[in-house]
């Protein structure tokens, strides 16, 4: 029962984190001249436009997940490498911003919730939202396809010009699944989350 209640309290954070992450990709690409996200109805914070059912359930049950990828057309960009980098980093930046903003009410609730059950529930909803957004940020920064981290290093180092890039991109999702199954991603993510929680004075 405790586990079920905990999962329910994580729902707002999951919905918020996934929706704003994908919206940030769409918004940035639109601002850089690409009409594709707007045509696909992605310039909205409405979760229905961004939540992938399987990715949502995976995040809820297994602790990792994904939203509907935002389709972009780099052909509209004036400076493709720079602009693709900006689009790639927009999602994780949004998750960091959300975590920082939510840390303020979370910190207040941590010291003022007292013995009230209702206030404690509200505190944990905010706390889990902070943790989930930090987790989404760090997870997506892992430099393995199809995560944002791979697109970021691709544009920084211009590695898509090498022949091996296509093969890594093609099979990267299987590498990611192996890393998740071997708990490597958790080994990476957990200490970084704790680091940020300490910075935000929540640990």
C-alpha dist (Å) from residue 165 to 105, 112, 146:
43, 52, 12
DSSP string, 179-193: HHHTTHHHHHHHHHH
Residue 100: CB atoms within 10 Å:
15
Which of 22, 34, 83, 84 is labelled catalytic?
22
Q: For residue 67, which phi and psi values (nearest 5 degrees)?
A: -105, 180
Query: Are the beta carbons of 96 and 50 closer than 8 angstroms?
Result: no
DSSP 201: T
**Is 22 among the residues known to form the active site?**
yes
Exposed (0-12), middle (13-18) or buried (19+): which is 165, by Cβ within 10 Å?
A: middle
Please list the active-site residues.
Answer: 22
């Amino acid at each position: 029962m405790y586990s079920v209640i905990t999962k329910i309290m994580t729902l707002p954070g999951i919905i918020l984190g996934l929706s704003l992450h994908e919206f940030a990709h769409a918004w940035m690409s639109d601002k850089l001249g690409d009409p594709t996200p707007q045509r696909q109805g992605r310039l909205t914070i409405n979760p229905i436009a961004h939540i992938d059912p399987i990715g949502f359930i995976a995040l809820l049950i297994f602790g990792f997940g994904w939203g509907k990828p935002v389709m972009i057309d780099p052909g509209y960009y004036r400076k493709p490498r720079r602009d693709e980098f900006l689009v790639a980093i927009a999602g994780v930046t949004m998750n960091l911003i959300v975590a920082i903003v939510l840390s303020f009410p979370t910190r207040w609730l941590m010291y003022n919730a007292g013995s009230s059950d209702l206030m404690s529930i509200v505190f944990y909803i905010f706390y889990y939202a902070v943790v989930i957004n930090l987790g989404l940020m760090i997870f997506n920064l892992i430099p393995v396809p199809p995560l944002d981290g791979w697109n970021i290093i691709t544009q920084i180092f211009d590695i898509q010009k090498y022949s091996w890039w296509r093969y890594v991109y093609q099979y990267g999702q299987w590498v990611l699944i192996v890393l998740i199954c071997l708990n490597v991603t958790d080994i990476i993510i957990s200490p970084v989350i704790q680091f940020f929680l300490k910075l935000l004075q929540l640990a």
